[in-house]
Structure 1
Amino acid sequence: MSGDWLHVRRGDAPLVVSIPHAGTEIPPDLEARLASPWLARKDADWWLEQLYDFAGDLGATVVRTAVSRTVIDVNRDPSGASLYPGQATTGLCPTETFDGEPLYRPGQEPDAAAIAARRTQFFDPYHEALRGELDRLRAVHGQVVLYDAHSIRSRAPRLFDGELPQFNIGTNGGAACAPALTAAVEAACDATGLPRVTDGRFKGGWITRRYGRPEQGVHAVQMELACRGYIDEPPALTPENWPTPYHPPRAAFLRSALAEVLKACVAFASPPSRA
């Protein structure tokens, strides 16, 4: 596993793009304890670094981890509290896939000491970087938008019914950002004619809920994309067909829409003279 797992690309616009789930790296000693390396990577937010590779051109700061969410999920409450009580979800150090498949061989699940070590090694540095960039940009601009970027399969029956809308905006029920930002992001999505929902099944993970403090000048919004917008989705996933390759022609329309979303975020947080 590479030692260069935390990637921070600094920009000057009042926008931080967080990509917490696109990583696939797993330490060799941990991978040996897993039921299947493929299962351990199955639920990654595939190819988001390519999908959003234009963000730096808009002046955004991008923070992402190359570490798989199976190692530790930097978008979960470190206390272990569920983000969605009563609904199926995964934890800080997941032990099963979105479909309920065991990630570890019997008896090899992480204990409290292993979880604490992973938190120190990976979780804490990610959040130190995120907080540092938010503070840096807020000091310059007065306010900043944190855009937490995600994607997921269009259908995951254990997590939600039916087919997920293309755009799933999460604002923690309006608590994580100003209504004007929500409206601007919604408008950019609605202009595509593709289905969109706000605070539906995905209301924002721990990153959105932890950092979204509009009264303090930090406005957080999560975007959960149905990945059909940029890759093919087989009806049944197997090690032979998943993940499918990044599909630039299919992604082009979605990238154009996401560029408008990020521009709206920058305009919201910019002084009128620079909006």
Structure 2
Amino acid sequence: MSACGRPLFEVVQPDRQSGPLVFNSPHSGRLYTDDFLAASRLDRQTIRRSEDHHVDDLFASVTALGAPLLKAHFPRAWLDVNREPYELDPRMFDAPLPAHVNSTSLRVTGGLGTIPRLVAENVDIYRGRLDVGEALRRIETVYRPYHACLRRLIAQTHVRFGQAVLIDCHSMPAGIKSGSGQARPDFIVGDRYGSSASHELTRVAVAVLSGLGYRVARNKPYAGGFITEHYGRPARGLHALQIEINRGLYIDETSLQLTAGFRQLQIDLTHFADQMLEYGRTTLNDGLLAAQ
């Protein structure tokens, strides 16, 4: 499926995959179609508040290192693939939803379901109610193919290397705090409190980022969303980490313009990816990625 002549998502493949890592950027899409903007009550700037700005660009170098990168071009405000397939709010739609819909999750209650009702800061997206058929089409024609693609990348990696490590890449508001009285973290590494990745893998990710001089928190307040929870099965050699990057490191959150910090952050994330790939390559045979 495409819009404005562009695919709604794509995989950037390396010439040769050199290790067991797969990178995913599901919230950095910035293809806002005229139809979507016409249905929204928000202007082009405000509707971008929930976007993970330029995260796909921050991790663009991973393909040169030998890892595939799956990235969304559709915006999170239009469809959120980091949710269950049918987390939908009945109040948003012009007719009853199918019986299999999960309408009571905390994410739906907060306005952040598969078809979001809000962007950041509790701002309503739509002028009126949405057509139920349109919502279901987004799920069937974009959500499901996106996850089929991600599943295939992980499965192929697992078959080839005996392990697979998904790095799910996100950004967070600059003012976020990891706990009461604690300094604002530069990164939060989420592993669903140890259930989506081995403790050793998480420890290495935290250590690499900390070694670059960043403040790194673990799991609070972001432990990982649906993608991390769904794909992380450490006992089967399938690991998933969520990486949240503080936007204050690289973007002006008012103008959404990149700052001078972008290039250094990009360099540091290249080092991070390289170290994680090296860890994956060198620990496959001795089983250090096994669940602990």
> Under TM normalisation by the shorter chain, which class is it?
0.7 to 0.9
- Is the 1:99–1:156 contact (alpha carbons within 8 Å) kept by the matching residues of 2? no
| Residues 255-264 or 209-218, more deviating | 255-264
Pair 1:31–1:89, CA change in 2 (3 A):
closer
- With the length of structure 2 as denominator, give the TM-score of the two structures: 0.81
Of the three residues 267, 276, 285, the one matched with 1:256 is: 267
Given the alignment, which residue of 234, 237, 242 partners 1:214? Answer: 234
CA–CA distance in structure 1, aligned partners of residues 161 and 199 of structure 2: 19
Whichever residue aligns with residue 22 of structure 1, its letter is S
From 156, 172, 176, give the equivalent of 2:196: 176
2:137 is equivalent to residue 122 of structure 1: no
> Normalization by structure 1: what TM-score?
0.86
Is residue 29 of structure 1 aligned with residue 51 of structure 2? Answer: no
Kept after mapping to 2: 8 A contact 1:98/1:156: no
Q: Which amino acid aligns with 2:36?
A: L
> AA paired with 1:119?
I
Q: Which residue number corresponds to residue 173 of structure 2?
A: 153
Aligned positions of 1:59-78 closer than 5 A: 59-78=66-85
Deviation at 1:111? 4.6
- Cα deviation, residue 88, structure 1: 4.7
Once residues 48 and 32 of structure 2 are traced to their aligned partners in structure 1, the CA distance between those partners, rounded to angstroms, is 9
Aligned equivalent of 2:115: 93
SS at match of 1:32: helix
Q: In structure 2, how many angstroms separate the alpha carbons of the residues matched to 1:178 and 1:264?
A: 16
Give 3-state SS (helix, strand or coil) of 2:77's partner: coil
Structure 1 runs of 4+ off > 3 angstroms?
Answer: 81-89, 159-164, 271-275
- CA drift of 1:30 comes to 2.5
CA RMSD of aligned residues (A): 2.7
CA shift, 1:77, in A, is 1.8
Gaps of 5+ in 2: 88-101, 287-292
Structure 1: distance between partners of 2:83 and 2:238: 19
CA distance in 2, matches of 1:253, 1:184: 21
SS of 2:70 mapped into structure 1? strand
1:268 aligned residue (264, 279, 282): 279
Secondary structure at the residue paired with 1:270? helix
Number of residue equivalences: 263
Q: CA deviation at 1:156?
A: 6.2
The 3-state SS of whatever aligns with 2:224 is coil
For residues 95-136 of structure 1, give each alpha carbon's deviation from its aligned partner in whole angstroms, at most 9, with x where no partner exists.
11110111111x2x3354322111012111111110111111
Residue 232 of structure 1, CA deviation: 2.8
Give the deviation of 1:87 after TM superposition.
Answer: 8.9
The percentage of aligned residue pairs carrying the same residue is: 26
